[in-house]
Amino acid sequence: MPPKLERPAPPYQQIANEIRKRISNGDLQAGDMVPSVRSLMRDYGVAIATAQKALSTLRAEGYIKPERGVGSIVTTEEERGRAANDRVDKARRTGKVYPTGQYAKITDAALGKASEQIADALGVEVGSPVIRRVRTTFQADGKPVSASTSYFRGDLAERAPLLLSPERIREGTFTYVANVLKRSVDAWQDQFEPAHATAEQAGSLGLDEGALIMLGRNWIYDEAGDVLEYGENITYGRVTYRGRLGD
């Protein structure tokens, strides 16, 4: 029986979630081929754009990569770590949030005021205080992997002072906040879409203006459904489809 899609998550997200789960539980190992666009179209009964978007999402997150003459294959753990769900999973297993060979630099950590989008994401009033942490993640050779900004409620400034420090938080910001609040990380949500880099975005990743990047947004929730951390990021993505956080 073919897999069934459920609402309300968009079909491409459901397909990506299913493949991601197979990778996380070991059903698909590093180097294994993942289903092709044609296979996904057949198995899930979706259009080509939906199947391509599902695979593009997984590429943007670092779970799969194109292999010439083969299709898409599962990446190694060292090649992953872009999406919130992967960081949460890694933090639970190892106490770290980055794959081996990657590191981050915090370039800004300060209090600011919530824009409409940030306020909506955190569930606070527009203009209320929020903590902003800006970072760039690098590969071992110093090449930028992503640039991201995480946001937290401003009332955490006294209870979680490390959020305002330019130093990295080893266990990850979301784990740190959860521990401070005596809560647990329970769920997460990722959104990715392609874009052509502006001059500022290109400069932060060492790219040419107009290069294809992925714009990401992610939310990490506690067991009560409250947002522990909201993040926005840009990632260099060699992805194609037609149609398509924490320290």
Query: How confident is the model over 168-184, as pLDDT tens digits?
Result: 888 889 999 999 999 98
- In which band, very low, low, confident or very high, does the pLDDT at 75 lie, cut at 50, 70 and 90? confident
> With contact defined as beta carbons under 8 Å apart, do 61 and 79 qualify?
no
- The candidate with the shortest Cα–Cα distance to 109, out of 130, 78, 82, is 130
Mean pLDDT for the chain overall = 82
DSSP, res 34 = P
The pLDDT of residue 193 is 77
Summarize the confidence of residues 2-22 as an average pLDDT: 75
Query: How confident is the model over 16-60, as pLDDT tens digits?
Result: 889 988 988 889 998 999 999 999 999 999 999 889 888 888 886
Q: Quick check: 6 pLDDT over 60?
A: no
What is 11-78's CATH number? 1.10.10.10
193 forms bridges with which residues in the sheet? Answer: 215
Q: Which two tokens stand for residue 213?
A: 């990047």
- In which band, very low, low, confident or very high, does the pLDDT at 100 lie, cut at 50, 70 and 90? low
The pLDDT of residue 13 is 83
Query: How confident is the model over 104-159, as pLDDT tens digits?
Result: 899 999 999 999 999 999 988 999 999 999 999 888 888 888 899 999 999 999 99
Cis peptide before 8 (omega within 30 of 0): yes
CATH topology of domain 83-236: Chorismate lyase (3.40.1410)
- The candidate with the shortest Cα–Cα distance to 147, out of 239, 244, 236, is 236
More confident residue, 9 or 241: 9
The pLDDT of residue 88 is 57
Contacts of residue 18, defined as CB under 8 A and 6 or more positions apart, other chains included, come to 3
Q: Please check whether the two domains, 11-78 and 83-236, share a CATH topology.
A: no
The total of other beta-carbon atoms located within 10 Å of residue 198's CB is 13
The domain locations on the chain are: 11-78, 83-236
Lowest mean pLDDT among 61-65, 171-175, 179-183, 226-230: 61-65
